[in-house]
Amino acid sequence: MMASESTGGAEQGLAPVAKTLFKEQGIGGFYRGLEANVARAMVLNGTKMACYDQIKQTIDATGLVPGGPKGILSQFLSAFGAGFFMAVTVSPFDMVRTRLMNQPPDAKIYTGAVDCVMKIVAKDGPGGFYRGFIPIWMRFAPTTCLQLIIFEQIQNALGLKGLSS
């Protein structure tokens, strides 16, 4: 629905759009860009947890941040940094996913994720994967901070061993 052209001012709901998509493209229309979405999700979550843990251990080892590993400042700085690295690793996947999902079904521009990657590199170079980097980071940083701080605070409140503690 996000990628569709204007509907002439009329709002379309989920059911009419799904019906049209199924009629025109079959069940495969619902799964365009699936491989890029799965790869993106794996990279996103792996980066989030690995970077958060590593940054937090580094911050805590310095002793410069008050509150130790259970302190909100340490958790915030670690999550903010993890959000940056998430944007770095996920931006290429977002670019590929968006292009695959937005290509017209009747005029295949890309045959798949690898073809899309090759065409982006050929046309725009490696920097082409990082268009829109700042908005991606601006989306990841706050949500990652909230998610991980809340997660750790709940763990601490329940007396469970938190991440990196």
Those residues of the chain that have pLDDT short of 70 are 1-11, 33, 69, 162-165
Q: Supply the range of the domain harboring residue 44.
A: 33-157
Number of domains in the chain: 1
Q: What is the pLDDT of residue 21?
A: 81
- Count of beta carbons in the 10 Å neighbourhood of residue 53: 14
What is the spatial distance between Cα 47 and Cα 10, in angstroms, rounded to a whole number? Answer: 41
Does residue 7 belong to any structural domain of this protein? no
Does residue 128 belong to any structural domain of this protein? yes
Does residue 72 belong to any structural domain of this protein? yes
pLDDT in tens, 115-162: 999 999 999 999 999 998 999 999 999 999 999 999 988 988 898 875
Asked whether the beta carbons of 100 and 33 are under 8 A apart, the reply is yes
Q: What is the pLDDT of residue 82?
A: 95
Q: Can you give the pTM of this predicted structure?
A: 0.73
Any idea what the CATH number is for the domain that residue 85 is in?
Answer: 1.50.40.10
Q: What is the pLDDT of residue 7?
A: 44
From residue 71, how far is each of 19, 31, 53, 121, 154 by CA, in Å? 50, 42, 14, 43, 13
Q: Which residues, 6 or more positions from 29, have their beta carbon under 8 angstroms from its beta carbon? A: 21, 22, 105
Does residue 101 belong to any structural domain of this protein? yes
| 107-115 long-range contacts, CB within 8 A, separation 24+ | 112/35, 113/35, 113/36, 113/39
Q: What is the pLDDT of residue 6?
A: 43
